[in-house]
Chains A and B, each alone.
Chain A
Amino acid sequence: MPNTPFEHQALNNINLHIKSGQFVAIIGHTGSGKSTMAQHLNGLLKPTKGSIQIGDFFIEANKKNKQLNKLRQLVGMVFQYPEHQLFDETVEKDIAFGPLNFGCTKEEAFRKVRDILPLVKLDQELLQKSPFDLSGGQKRRVAIAGVLVNHPKVLVLDEPTAGLDPIGRRQMMELFTSLHKLESLTTVLVTHSMEFAAAYADLVVVMDKGSLVMQGPPEEIFKFPEQLKKIGLNVPETLQLAMMIEESFKTELPKNIFTKEALVDTITMLLKKETI
């Protein structure tokens, strides 16, 4: 909102290159500009300066884009609480909404809907139900199916696990990682969770106050817990525990302990060494 008392520059001087096929996690404190950045990726927001390139598409400041719809087909976007976007009478129609907008015929759209259901682990029999009669988790799956059904090449996920229970969160993330591989997607995950960023991403991007402060593979990023703490973030819980063990037992542990399994392995190794 330029020229109003509420004027606020959300993003500042961002230089980021994402290779196709990468799994990128954008982490940062609330209000650091993660979501704002994500919305630039399919032209929902446009930069006031500079440019964005996605595949062959260019989004430049102060230029009108006519092909935004093609870009939006290419870049699927799952918003926070995606179940809020459901509106149609039946699940089938709701999922088919995207393909129909992007110019599919009815038969084509409904066929795509049927093909996408197993990917998000939904039953065919749900198709004729009203989306509002489903459970919270099912609603979210339907909403996500509504994005995936367009077969995007890039998938942007804005806090896709918000409001789910731990099991739901895990399943959701597993769904996205398997999709990432299966459809060879480029995935951009906006998240608060250091654990997810560490466990799933090839590239971690750290943002603070609208600027990009660090980027690199998780092993590199989480080497600097002090710096992360300064901007209100922390290292993953597994690594925290590993670091505490390091301190109290005066040993050195590897720096890439990002999953529970890895942590358990290192601790057993350590214990074995102690007993010998």
Chain B
Amino acid sequence: MFQNIIIGQYVAGNSFIHDLDPRSKLTATFLFVLIVFLANNWLTYLILFLAVLVAMLVSNVSPNYIYKGMKPVFLLVIAMFILHAFFTKEGELLFAIGWFEVYLGGIIQGLFIAFRLLLLIMMTTLLTLTTAPIQMTDGLESIFGPLRRFNVPVHELALMMSISLRFIPTLLQETEKIMKAQMARGVDFTGGPITRRIKAIVPLLVPLFMQSFRRAEDLATAMEARGYRGGEGRTKLRELVWMKKDTMAVLTITTIGFILLFLRS
């Protein structure tokens, strides 16, 4: 039922990208997100696209799978394109229907923006596909570690994040189960008028909330029973080790950034 949602769903593997330190992957992705905004002509976009393509090839994740994961956001990309195509009034007038005018500049602008969005989503999808959630939060905790000096509860925030990531699949499973149970009692979630469909959400949400509260309580009890007391003095099972290839990955992205600085118009 939720087969197309792969947010936070990690596909195990042992490629170069899988083996990178999560900190380097996070940094590289963050830099990439910044760099994407530097691109403003065909050449720079092509370079970025090639970079993403290479990263995908190296990661060994099936492209089909990435495509499936991105499907739900295509609508957003298309919407962005249409918005820009219609509201940017630059360059040659292509055609007009009444007050409705489409300019060449608008089309190009729309393409660029759509492409930019696509690149961002591809790269971040790749990050979540190749990094286990636990690694991701470990990496974040380590990166934001210095903020502890300013009394930011870094460990607690990281823990909250890993717990929520961990429970996304569980919650989806639960949703599916309750949906099925209510469907067996005659609820139609997909058909009928919109008001009825909105009403159909109540029998889904109430049990879901009840379950989540109960689960939260159970989890808290389980953690306390095992002596959890927060991040103070806590050691890690998987130590993060920064290696040469991590430096390389970050440097590669930085280099691409510099190249883009030169090539942008």
A residues sitting closer than 8 Å to B (CB atoms) are: 1, 3-5, 39, 42, 44, 69, 72-73, 76-77, 79, 82, 84-88, 97-98, 101-102, 132, 146-147, 150
Q: Does B98 contact A (CB under 8 A)?
A: no
Interface residues of B in 185-223 (CB under 8 A from A): 185-188, 202-204, 206-207, 210-211
Question: B3 near A101 (CB under 8 angstroms)?
Answer: no
Question: A102 near B186 (CB under 8 angstroms)?
Answer: yes
Question: A84 near B3 (CB under 8 angstroms)?
Answer: no
Question: A87 near B184 (CB under 8 angstroms)?
Answer: no
Question: B64 near A44 (CB under 8 angstroms)?
Answer: no
> Please, could you name 10 A-B residue pairs with CB atoms under 8 Å apart, sorted by A?
A3-B68, A4-B64, A69-B186, A72-B185, A73-B186, A84-B207, A85-B182, A97-B185, A102-B186, A132-B210
- The complex places the Cα of A194 from the Cα of B211 at a distance, in Å, of 30
For A150, list chain B residues within 8 Å (CB). 185-186
Q: Which of A1, A3, A42, A132 contacts B184 (CB 8 A)?
A: A42
Closest 4 pairs between A and B when the two form their complex, measured CB to CB: A101-B186, A87-B206, A85-B181, A77-B184
- The complex places the Cα of A88 from the Cα of B211 at a distance, in Å, of 15
- Given A69-B188, A102-B186, verify A97-B203 contact (CB < 8 Å): yes
CB nearest to B188 among chain A residues: A69
CB nearest to B184 among chain A residues: A77
- The complex places the Cα of A44 from the Cα of B180 at a distance, in Å, of 7
- The complex places the Cα of A4 from the Cα of B2 at a distance, in Å, of 13
Most buried by B among A3, A4, A147: A4
How many A-B residue contacts, CB cutoff 8 Å?
65
Q: Binary interface profile of B, 174-185, with partner A (CB < 8 Å = 1, else 0)?
A: 000110111111
- The complex places the Cα of A102 from the Cα of B182 at a distance, in Å, of 12
For B182, list chain A residues within 8 Å (CB). 85
For A69, list chain B residues within 8 Å (CB). 186, 188
Q: Which of A86, A98, A146 contacts B207 (CB 8 A)?
A: A86
Q: Does B11 contact A (CB under 8 A)?
A: yes
- The complex places the Cα of A31 from the Cα of B38 at a distance, in Å, of 51
Question: A87 near B207 (CB under 8 angstroms)?
Answer: yes
Question: B3 near A79 (CB under 8 angstroms)?
Answer: no
Q: Does B235 contact A (CB under 8 A)?
A: no
- The complex places the Cα of A42 from the Cα of B182 at a distance, in Å, of 12
B residues sitting closer than 8 Å to A (CB atoms) are: 3, 11, 62, 64-65, 68, 177-178, 180-188, 202-204, 206-207, 210-211
- The complex places the Cα of A39 from the Cα of B177 at a distance, in Å, of 11
Question: B181 near A82 (CB under 8 angstroms)?
Answer: yes
For B202, list chain A residues within 8 Å (CB). 87
- Given A3-B68, A85-B207, A132-B210, verify A76-B186 contact (CB < 8 Å): no
- Known contacts A87-B204, A97-B203, A101-B186; 19 additional CB pairs below 8 A are A1-B3, A3-B68, A4-B68, A5-B65, A42-B184, A44-B183, A79-B177, A79-B180, A82-B181, A84-B177, A84-B178, A84-B207, A85-B178, A86-B207, A87-B202, A88-B206, A97-B185, A102-B186, A132-B210
- The complex places the Cα of A87 from the Cα of B208 at a distance, in Å, of 9
For A72, list chain B residues within 8 Å (CB). 183-186
- Output the least CB separation between A147 and chain B (Å): 7
- The complex places the Cα of A102 from the Cα of B203 at a distance, in Å, of 15
- The complex places the Cα of A150 from the Cα of B188 at a distance, in Å, of 16
- Output the least CB separation between A232 and chain B (Å): 24
Question: B68 near A44 (CB under 8 angstroms)?
Answer: no
Question: B211 near A84 (CB under 8 angstroms)?
Answer: yes
For B68, list chain A residues within 8 Å (CB). 3-4
Question: A76 near B184 (CB under 8 angstroms)?
Answer: yes
- The complex places the Cα of A132 from the Cα of B213 at a distance, in Å, of 13
For A44, list chain B residues within 8 Å (CB). 180, 183-184
- Output the least CB separation between B191 and chain A (Å): 9
Most buried by B among A77, A84, A97: A84
Question: B184 near A79 (CB under 8 angstroms)?
Answer: yes
- Output the least CB separation between B242 and chain A (Å): 29
CB nearest to B62 among chain A residues: A5
- The complex places the Cα of A84 from the Cα of B204 at a distance, in Å, of 10
Question: B3 near A147 (CB under 8 angstroms)?
Answer: no
Question: A101 near B187 (CB under 8 angstroms)?
Answer: yes
For A42, list chain B residues within 8 Å (CB). 184
- Output the least CB separation between B17 and chain A (Å): 16
- The complex places the Cα of A202 from the Cα of B62 at a distance, in Å, of 48
